[in-house]
Structure 1
Amino acid sequence: MNNQKLVKIGVIGAGNIGGVHVREFQKLPDWCEITTITDASLPLAEKRAAEFSIPHVAGTPEELIGSANVDAVIVAVPNQYHAPLAIQALEAGKHVLLEKPMGLNSESARLILEASRRSERTLMVAHQMRWEAVPMAIHEQMKRGELGRIYTAKTGWFRRKGIPGWGTWFTRMDQSGGGPLIDIGVHMLDLALHLMGSPKPVSVYGATYAEFGPKRRGIGTWGKPDWSGVYDVEDLASAMIKMEDGSTLTLDVSWAVHMDTDNTPFIHLMGTEGGASYRGGEGKLLTEKFDQPLETVVRKPQEDEGERLRMSRHFLECIRDGKEPLTSALTGFTNNLVLDAIYESSRTGREVRLEERW
């Protein structure tokens, strides 16, 4: 790291995602060190500390954020705690890597955005799909103009039987902010907008459905169900998003649906000079030569360090160089703004205009 001092990292959230972040950052010992971890379940935090040789377990998030031995905070907790913890960390002068979605809703995301601007610290949202090798290659072709003007795109992720943690925070609107739309749909929205060249969304029309969860059907293997809990979120969402430049994006996601699906995320970009598709880790560039359709397959390199390691390094580079992250606070706010509009459109049955909400 060019003789720069190591970034000292504290992790709030010792669950599965917190553990993933620890593993990746520990692959960068010349850049950083994990000094502290905490969790609502201190025994779990202590288990992770022993597993990863993390020297200190903080009793509370407040203790971790206030530690002089922490420069940057990873927030890997349920959605309802994203804004309070991210804002507290930023106000304490810490850099923040925040799990997706940025906020429980656009109101909380706006508060995080404002706090990040006041703090002049790095706030990055952990949308790791932007760092996957194939989307990166497609994005490079888009930037070079190989696709021309992208006038429409389609993206989505259909899980046939994948409702996570029925009755837990995953399926409670007040704690998660929504169902598959805010859980996996936010990934596809973020990546699609990125690959389209980051156009500004100006209007949204959408619909959400809850046909499986309330009947305790479509249950997946992720998380432990709480049958005494609540399911008040959607299990499928569909939306059309229009951009300032006239381009459009359709978004379809589900946790549960009767559909022939391979359970993989997909994106299709349609441009004036060419197109691109991404599904199941493989991509295609599509164009026409000599009046004949032509496709080029795009695969990730055999020796690929992985998207999460690239994302982790990018976060540290932004801290070191003072540059804005690729998945900045503004991109996170944009995602939340669109998601809120989809839910609102579903409730009202009307198109939602975004011009005055920025």
Structure 2
Amino acid sequence: MDEHATHGRRRLKVGVVGIGWAGRQHLEAYANSEDVEIIGLAGMEPELLAELRAEYRIPHAVERWEDLIDLEGLDAVSVAVPTFLHAPIAVAALERGLHVLSEKPIARDGDEGRLMVDAARRAGRVLDVAFNHRRRGDIAALKRVIDDGGIGRPYYAKASWLRRSGIPSLGSWFTNREMAGGGPLADIGVHVIDYALHLLGEPKVLSVSASTYAELGPQGRGGGAYGAQTAGSAFEVEDLATAFLRLEGGVTLLVEAGWAAYRPAADLMDFRIYGTDGGAELSRVGSPADAVESLHVFSEDGDYEPEVGPSAGHQGVIDDFLAAIRAGETEWGRHDGSLALTRARIIDACYASAAQHREVEL
């Protein structure tokens, strides 16, 4: 048996492009996975690259992503880099026959996302995008309640992720429109849209009406917790966005995404839903490291707090990605990035609506 095989199956050889926070989440999750060998790592910070290479015993550590995707024997690659690099790296990797897991959002806009999806279909390989928040324990518990009819037919929902001082460093790629594609709506709002539509059963979005604001970032305000701010630095995106989405079946969804606003200091990520037989409120308050979660369901038969299991986070993302690869060629076509592309199209419509001051149909 192959020295790199266990339990009768070959170990998948993977690489990670990007060594920031997200890239390190992917590394840790791969390291915790059975039948996986991390053979390559690419990053621009020499000291951190060397440190991670030693920690995870990775044979190849390179600066250029092009060198990583050319490694012999590589099966799959994680793309955890600034958004403007998602499409070029993913398309190149897919064209080399690699499976790809990209960080969110799929790309700067839907057109770039479409290039990635088309490349996955041509190559017949898996393309997945990391939506780790839908894999939280509270989201999973509420999903079970809704799917089991616990609140009847949903008709209105509100979802948000709001920060007090959470603008990523001014002057970085996060606040550069060309590199990021947008501000909090594209950065954290994409998570909100994803878990909201996931909870609602993936209804089609018919139209959006959105507004965006850039009031604090241009003044050098609204940072600190997520990177130092410098007054006068370039700020080319919004710092707050709100969108009203009309969904098929008469359901409506209100989304808020903000990096900075004069509100309580702790981050708030929440979801409220009203149905014909009940409702529910979910909240997550605090920084990712110490957030306090709560989930309440309300109904005629009495209010209660469902049992909430552990959150899978990025480990769940990696596990699902690896399972899709292991499922074999007949299943790969079901994992072509299409769902993430729908998220990008929704965000595109939101930005168009905000710019044109009108409702935009999808």
Q: CA–CA distance in 2 between the matches of 1:211 and 1:69?
A: 50
1:310 corresponds to? 316
Deviates more, 1:41-50 or 1:277-286: 41-50
1:11 and 2:23 aligned: no
Quick one: which of 296, 321, 343 aligns to 1:284?
296
Quick one: which of 7, 23, 29 aligns to 2:28?
23
What is the CA RMSD across the aligned residues, in angstroms?
Answer: 2.0
> Gaps (5+ residues) in structure 1?
none
Change (3 A) 1:262 1:59: closer
1:108 corresponds to? 112
Shift of 1:297: 1.1
Quick one: which of 186, 192, 195 aligns to 1:182?
186
User: What letter is aligned with 2:295?
Assistant: G
Q: CA–CA distance in 2 between the matches of 1:202 and 1:225?
A: 38
> For the Cα contact (< 8 Å) 1:277–1:285, is it kept in 2?
yes
Shift of 1:201: 0.7
Shift of 1:132: 0.9
Q: CA–CA distance in 2 between the matches of 1:333 and 1:196?
A: 18
Q: CA–CA distance in 1 between the matches of 2:245 and 2:51?
A: 44
Q: CA–CA distance in 2 between the matches of 1:283 and 1:110?
A: 36
Shift of 1:229: 4.6
Deviates more, 1:7-16 or 1:278-287: 278-287
User: What letter is aligned with 2:167?
Assistant: I
Q: CA–CA distance in 1 between the matches of 2:208 and 2:336?
A: 22
Quick one: which of 333, 337, 341 aligns to 2:349?
341
1:124 and 2:128 aligned: yes
Shift of 1:44: 3.2
Give matches, 1:1-358, under 5 Å.
2-28=7-33, 30-223=34-227, 225=229, 229-260=233-264, 262-280=266-284, 281-289=293-301, 294-301=302-309, 304=310, 306-322=312-328, 323=331, 329-354=337-362
> For the Cα contact (< 8 Å) 2:218–2:233, is it kept in 1?
no
> For the Cα contact (< 8 Å) 1:158–1:261, is it kept in 2?
no
Change (3 A) 1:249 1:91: same
CA deviation profile, 1:148-205 (whole Å, cap 9, x unmatched): 2221110001101111111110101100111111111110000000000000111010
| TM-score, scaled relative to structure 2 | 0.90
Task: Kindly tell me the number of residue pairs found equivalent between the two proteins.
Answer: 347
CA deviation profile, 1:195-242 (whole Å, cap 9, x unmatched): 000001110100000000000011133245577752111010010011
Deviates more, 1:96-105 or 1:274-283: 274-283
CA deviation profile, 1:71-127 (whole Å, cap 9, x unmatched): 110000000001111111111111111000001111111111111222221111101
> For the Cα contact (< 8 Å) 1:8–1:34, is it kept in 2?
yes
Change (3 A) 1:132 1:14: same
Deviates more, 1:254-263 or 1:16-25: 254-263
| TM-score, scaled relative to structure 1 | 0.91
> For the Cα contact (< 8 Å) 1:126–1:327, is it kept in 2?
no
> Gaps (5+ residues) in structure 2?
1-5, 285-292
Secondary structure of residue in 2 paired with 1:295: coil
Change (3 A) 1:74 1:228: farther
Shift of 1:43: 4.1
> For the Cα contact (< 8 Å) 1:75–1:82, is it kept in 2?
yes
User: What letter is aligned with 1:115?
Assistant: A
Q: CA–CA distance in 2 between the matches of 1:56 and 1:262?
A: 40
Shift of 1:261: 6.1
Shift of 1:128: 0.4
CA deviation profile, 1:277-330 (whole Å, cap 9, x unmatched): 2111221222112xxxx22213534xx363222221111111101446998611
Change (3 A) 1:222 1:23: same
Change (3 A) 1:353 1:201: same
